[in-house]
Amino acid sequence: MAKSTLQSSITSFGIYDTWNEKSKDLPKVKKFTTDVPAEIDVEFGFIINIKKGKGKKITFCIYHPDIPDKQGNIMPPFTDDVYIRDNNWNFYLGDTIWEPVHSKLGDWRMTIECEGHLLADKTFTINEPDEFSGAKFWKRAGY
């Protein structure tokens, strides 16, 4: 009997509602984008759907810009393992911005692998919010 092959696809990516890791519900996408404003608590990432993989282990990694820890040492990429819970499984991989904001600017790459195969790879660019666009422009102009 032929072994079924795992299938995966990114179903959404960008800026999301606040994620509650204790809830079974995944966050809802607010804006599809890879350009993220450097604002406290902005939630960004992607949702991947994996089929035919129940019981297999995925490894995810978040490569962030050279963010120093409290001692001033550059933090290593964040990585962890998770087991696929069923044969049609949605998984959210994301992060958020915290103080000090200026140290979070740059590219954040998020990857998911299973059994040596790259399932997902998405890079988000964290930039200073544009002070001269949209509502911020008018607020700054005194309106």
The pLDDT-based confidence of 69 (bands split at 50, 70, 90) is: confident
CA distance 63 to 76: 8
In a domain, 36, yes or no: yes
User: pLDDT tens digits for 111-123?
Assistant: 999 999 999 999 9
In a domain, 2, yes or no: no
Residue 138 is given by DSSP the state H
Range of the domain at 54: 7-140
Tell me the pairing of strands 106-114 and 29-31.
unpaired
In a domain, 87, yes or no: yes
In a domain, 1, yes or no: no
In a domain, 23, yes or no: yes
Total domain count, the chain = 1
For residue 90, CA distances in Å to 17, 117, 130, 136 come to 16, 18, 33, 35
Task: Residue 61: give its domain's CATH number.
Answer: 2.60.40.2390
In a domain, 118, yes or no: yes
User: pLDDT tens digits for 1-16?
Assistant: 445 689 999 999 999 9
